[in-house]
Amino acid sequence: MTLRSDESFWSPQVRQLVPYVPGEQPKIPHLVKLNTNENPYPPSPRVVQAIAAAAQQGLQLYPDPESTALREAVAAHHGLDAAQVFVGNGSDEVLAHAFFAFFRQDRPLLMPDISYSFYQVYCALYEIRCEPVPLDAALRIDVAAYARPAGGVVVANPNAPTGVGLPLAAIEQLLRLHPRQVVLVDEAYVDFGGDSAIGLIGRHPNLLVVHTLSKSRSLAGLRVGVACGQPHLIEALARVKNSFNSYPLDRLAQAGAVAAYEDRAYFDETRRAVMHSREGLALALEDLGFEVLPSQANFVFARHPRHDAAALAAALRERGVLVRHFRQPARIAQFLRISVGTPAQCEALVQALGPLVAQAG
């Protein structure tokens, strides 16, 4: 039988969705994988123990639909109340529910024109009109340009894929510019040196802060994301999640995530190691002639004035080193986004890049 796809059955919204190409997760062993911003260190041993214990008892039972223990652990970590915490299967799910809950407005959703690509996907899926606001000449979020009518605002801080962070004063400015609209701050990378807006939640009923355990807590494989905000925002997210009948976190994820929040020492140790390697990596890239944007994330965004970024990424791939290159938008097409690996992985990248950039560009 020939397998054919007849897209005429599809809704217009689905027809405009770009198919997922799993090229960034190749199934080849022994790669130096610096392309998807995973943490190079394993999760805390306490996480693994907690998951093993949860697997031994209770898997025949459904999980706690409200993830109470986890929401309490997140709240304790941030000095919040559990009623100010929502959890989902990865921050991608949390973001999807937040877009549905808050941004289907008459007025457009403002977001940086260069940011996490899934924001545009959720807008397409939920028919949210979005208005991209250009980054400034240094690829920073230009907060003054957000002073225009809006149905909401979403920014990543630090931004992706640039790694450039905004100071808290700039986030407060966004909150004051749009006091009656939700301002969503996606802090996926904030633990690597950024300024978290969580402390502003008490004063700003329009602030929703989204976190993930995929980066600073080394749990990309477990799929846990978090949103923090005042209870009226959390209640809306819970209603959307329940209405989609989407699953609560499973028992293993709930148990592992609680342990990840409890092991504060391991969290601090690994994120400091990543930040330390990032500084070394940035210097080594600069020695090779790259311009490196100031990063507050677990990746660096860099371009070489004499070498084509797509060609460099392809040549690195042939040498078993994966980095990320974006063909679009044109303004960033000469950059490479390189996740911070272990010292050995960073060294392997620099060793592979050296001869490539020594050649005439």
Question: Of the two residues 25 and 57, which places its CB atom closer to ligand PMP in the complex?
Answer: 25
Could you give the residue ranges of the DSSP H alpha helices within the chain?
Answer: 12-15, 45-56, 68-78, 90-102, 118-126, 168-177, 231-243, 251-262, 264-287, 309-318, 343-358
Is 39 a binder of ligand PMP (CB under 6 A)? no
Which stretch in 22-30, 84-92, 130-138, 276-284 sits in contact with ligand PMP by CB under 6 A? 84-92
Question: Of the two residues 84 and 218, which places its CB atom closer to ligand PMP in the complex?
Answer: 218
State the CB neighbour count (10 A cutoff) for residue 19. 5
Is 191 a binder of ligand PMP (CB under 6 A)? no
To ligand PMP, the closest distance from the beta carbon of 319 in angstroms equals 24
To ligand PMP, the closest distance from the beta carbon of 94 in angstroms equals 8
Question: Of the two residues 315 and 322, which places its CB atom closer to ligand PMP in the complex?
Answer: 322
To ligand PMP, the closest distance from the beta carbon of 361 in angstroms equals 30
Structure tokens at 159: 């931004």
- Report the run of H or E that residue 87 belongs to, with start and end: strand 85-88
Sign, CA torsion 24/219/285/162: positive
Is 168 a binder of ligand PMP (CB under 6 A)? no
| Interacting residue with ligand PMP among 125, 168, 220, 310 (CB under 6 A) | 220
Count of residues that interact with ligand PMP, criterion CB under 6 A = 13
Is 92 a binder of ligand PMP (CB under 6 A)? yes
| Interacting residue with ligand PMP among 63, 108, 194, 225 (CB under 6 A) | 225
Nearest one of 290, 269, 272, 270 to 281, comparing CA atoms: 290
Nearest one of 97, 72, 84 to 254, comparing CA atoms: 72
Residue pair 304/357 in contact (Cβ under 8 Å)? The answer is yes
Is 171 a binder of ligand PMP (CB under 6 A)? no
Q: What is the rounded CA–CA span in Å between residue 215 and residue 298?
A: 8
Q: What is the rounded CA–CA span in Å between residue 129 and residue 110?
A: 9
Is 116 a binder of ligand PMP (CB under 6 A)? yes
To ligand PMP, the closest distance from the beta carbon of 160 in angstroms equals 4
**What residue ranges bind ligand PMP (CB under 6 A)?**
37, 90-92, 116, 156, 160, 186, 188, 212, 214, 220, 225
